[in-house]
Amino acid sequence: MSTNNTYDVIVMGGGPAGSSVASMLAREGRQVILFEKEIFPRHHIGESLMTDTYWTFRRMGILEKLTDSPFVRKYSVQFANAAGKESRPFYFFEAVHHESAVTWQVTRAKFDHLLIDHAADQGATVHQGVLVKQVLFEGDRAIGVEVQMQDGSREKFYAKVVVDATGQMAMLSNKFRWRVRDPKLKKAVLYSYFKGAHREPDLNGGATLVLRTEHGSGGWFWYIPLEDDITSVGIVANPDYLLKGRGQDLAKIFEEEIAKCPPCAKRVAGGERVDKIYSILDYSYRSKHNAGNGFIIIGDAYGFLDPIYSSGVLLALKMAELATDAIHDAFQHDDFSAARLGQYQTKLDRGIESMRKLVYAFYNDGFSFSGFLRKYPDERFHIINLLIGDVFKEGVDAVYGPMSEFAEIPPPLYEQLDGTLVPQMPTGEESELLLTAKYNSFDDRSQVQTDGAD
Ligand SMILES: Cc1cc2nc3c(=O)[nH]c(=O)nc-3n(C[C@H](O)[C@H](O)[C@H](O)COP(=O)(O)OP(=O)(O)OC[C@H]3O[C@@H](n4cnc5c(N)ncnc54)[C@H](O)[C@@H]3O)c2cc1C
């Protein structure tokens, strides 16, 4: 219980990052309050989990709820090249002999709802439909937040630590202009949902499929089986290729792309599209810092890599865990400085870079896992370790030595940006305009978040 609107920790945002950090901290004895601007369930993209999420789920105490859920079990990932040739499935149990080798494909509206309710079950005070308007500072130290309650009134809350888990809204890294963009990774995405699309029998029925589209498009389809015979199907490609000069009819573009991708076309042929076409322009970015005095930044608010490999929720959960440990440490030492709260950034960035290298490899025209593994069959184990999300493991990067014969492997983001040549993300008003413009030209505004930046 708190007094005078004062808590140990304030969490802004109730997606996977925010709900997980709130669950763990509350479960481990901290007084936590979480503010989420939406009322759940709400639509969100990001449906395929990596198996290493298991360990955070276990710490949160939510494994039983997931096991009892209707979510489809995911045992593997499978790739098909532009000619339609399909790889052998990469089964996670080839590398991991434990129940953590199986994970879930989740409808995010239900999954995020489960997670935020779980945070409340663990003792966090959870407010939905409450928008954080600004973070309050005393000097350079965050001391609390001002929120807009559901009835429109404003209220202030105080805490030793404010956690920014506001997703791509990225309240604090935008405020401080810390967000830097990856110079290469920028994609346009169209996706929708099909009922009755093809599903393989048995174990393979839960696989994520990554189906490359024609050469030069920089593109691929995801094919993710969800519960109730629904399949999530989306194309990720270079914006110029996917959208330029093709008009505003997104359904037409989507259908044309499906037709050009035989492994996708044959799978959706027997199904029916049951939702609208959603559209996203995604940029890969990272914040220069993961903490300041009195605050920590986690999940997409810290960085977003790319949809390929489904690493977003995993990284959000890992950051939630690292932040939980850093926050406990800060309370033990009564030291809420940037240095103490942000102590894990080097380790975190190393893990993100491991995944980023695999992303770059994938987008090299002509690269295929099958081709790589034909020459280096012993690397299969390391590839699976990366595909399960074990990016913090010592030595996991060794695979990039041999892989550099097949694909350009980038240096770490900040080295690649070469010091001062740092392209900033648009911030504040500009970013709002960009979001509005980009969604106005499409037919979906469901993921637009125009409020909340102070
Ligand atoms: C095309 C695409 C496909 C993807 N596919 C996958 C996938 O298959 N698997 C995967 O793991 N990841 C995937 N991702 C990434 C995944 O969606 C994200 O990494 C993940 O949702 C990050 O979680 P988060 O909690 O940090 O942010 P979010 O899930 O975005 O949650 C942030 C929350 O903060 C709230 N919020 C924002 N501002 C405020 C405010 N001012 N006050 C209060 N609340 C606020 C928002 O309403 C939101 O609920 C994909 C991403 C894209 C773009």
Q: What is the pLDDT along the chain (454 residues), one digit of tens a residue?
A: 566 799 999 999 999 999 999 999 999 999 999 999 999 999 999 999 999 999 999 999 999 999 999 999 999 999 888 788 888 899 999 888 999 999 999 999 999 999 999 999 999 999 999 999 999 999 999 999 999 999 999 999 999 999 999 999 999 999 999 998 888 888 899 999 999 999 998 899 999 999 988 766 778 999 999 999 999 999 999 888 898 888 889 999 999 999 999 999 999 999 999 999 999 888 899 999 999 999 999 999 999 999 988 899 999 999 999 999 999 999 999 999 999 999 999 999 999 999 999 999 988 877 888 889 899 999 888 888 888 888 888 888 889 999 999 898 988 887 777 654 444 554 444 443 333 334 333 333 233 332 232 2
pLDDT for the residue 391? 86
pLDDT for the residue 1? 52
Determine the longest span between alpha carbons in the chain, in angstroms. Answer: 64
pLDDT for the residue 421? 42
Q: How far is the CA of 302 from the centre of ligand 1 (A)?
A: 11
Among 34, 29, 42, smallest CA distance to 12 is for 34
Distances in whole angstroms, Cα of residue 161 to Cα of each of 26, 128, 175: 14, 20, 17
CA–CA separation, 424 vs 177, rounded Å?
A: 7
Contact 78, 89 (CB under 8 A): yes
In 3-state terms, what secondary structure has residue 181? strand
In 3-state terms, what secondary structure has residue 220? strand
Contact 306, 284 (CB under 8 A): yes
Please tell me the residue having the least CA distance from ligand 1 atom 29: 15
> Who lines ligand 1 at CB under 6 A?
12-18, 35-38, 44-49, 131-132, 165-167, 169, 171, 189, 280, 282, 299-301, 304, 307, 310, 312-314, 316, 449, 452
In 3-state terms, what secondary structure has residue 335? coil
Task: Choose the residue to mutate in 71, 300, 306 for probing ligand 1, maximizing ligand atoms within 8 Å of C-beta.
Answer: 300
CATH number of 1-71+106-178+288-343: 3.50.50.60
Contacts of 109 (CB under 8 A, 6+ apart): 40, 41, 42, 43, 44
Question: Which amino acid makes up residue 21?
Answer: V
Task: Choose the residue to mutate in 162, 185, 193, 310 for probing ligand 1, maximizing ligand atoms within 8 Å of C-beta.
Answer: 310
Contact 117, 19 (CB under 8 A): no
pLDDT for the residue 390? 87
Residue 307, preceding bond cis, omega within 30 degrees? Answer: no
Helix (H) or strand (E) holding 324: helix 312-333
Helix (H) or strand (E) holding 320: helix 312-333
Kindly give the pairing relationship between strand 103-105 and strand 72-74.
antiparallel
Contact 193, 275 (CB under 8 A): yes
Place of tokens 């990016």: 391
CA–CA separation, 389 vs 368, rounded Å?
A: 19
Please tell me the residue having the least CA distance from ligand 1 atom 45: 13
Closest ligand 1 atom number to CA of residue 18: 25
Please tell me the residue having the least CA distance from ligand 1 atom 5: 46
Show me where the domains of the chain are located.
Answer: 1-71+106-178+288-343, 180-282
Contacts of 432 (CB under 8 A, 6+ apart): 450, 453
Phi, psi of 118 (to 5 degrees): -65, -40
CA–CA separation, 231 vs 357, rounded Å?
A: 29
Helix (H) or strand (E) holding 232: strand 230-237
pLDDT for the residue 397? 86
CA–CA separation, 35 vs 367, rounded Å?
A: 43
Place of tokens 């995405």: 189
Q: How far is the CA of 381 from the centre of ligand 1 (A)?
A: 30
- CA torsion, points 295, 299, 300, 306, in degrees to nearest 10? 150
Fold held by 180-282 = D-Amino Acid Oxidase; Chain A, domain 2 (3.30.9)
Q: How far is the CA of 168 from the centre of ligand 1 (A)?
A: 7
Closest ligand 1 atom number to CA of residue 16: 25
CA–CA separation, 42 vs 446, rounded Å?
A: 9
Q: How far is the CA of 195 from the centre of ligand 1 (A)?
A: 24
Q: How far is the CA of 266 from the centre of ligand 1 (A)?
A: 31
Among 188, 169, 168, smallest CA distance to 279 is for 188
The alpha carbon of 294 is separated from its chain's Cα centroid by a whole number of angstroms, namely 24
Helix (H) or strand (E) holding 225: strand 220-225
pLDDT for the residue 121? 98
Among 58, 96, 73, 88, smallest CA distance to 386 is for 96
The answer to whether the predicted template modeling score (pTM) of the entire model surpasses 0.85 is yes
DSSP structural state of residue 449: -
> Which structure tokens are listed for 132?
């954080």
pLDDT for the residue 411? 86
Residue 239, preceding bond cis, omega within 30 degrees? Answer: no
234 beta partners? 191, 222
CA–CA separation, 33 vs 10, rounded Å?
A: 5
Closest ligand 1 atom number to CA of residue 187: 1
Closest ligand 1 atom number to CA of residue 132: 42
CA–CA separation, 60 vs 128, rounded Å?
A: 20
Q: How far is the CA of 287 from the centre of ligand 1 (A)?
A: 16
Phi, psi of 323 (to 5 degrees): -65, -40
CA–CA separation, 140 vs 104, rounded Å?
A: 41
pLDDT for the residue 135? 98
CATH fold match for the domains 1-71+106-178+288-343 and 180-282:
no
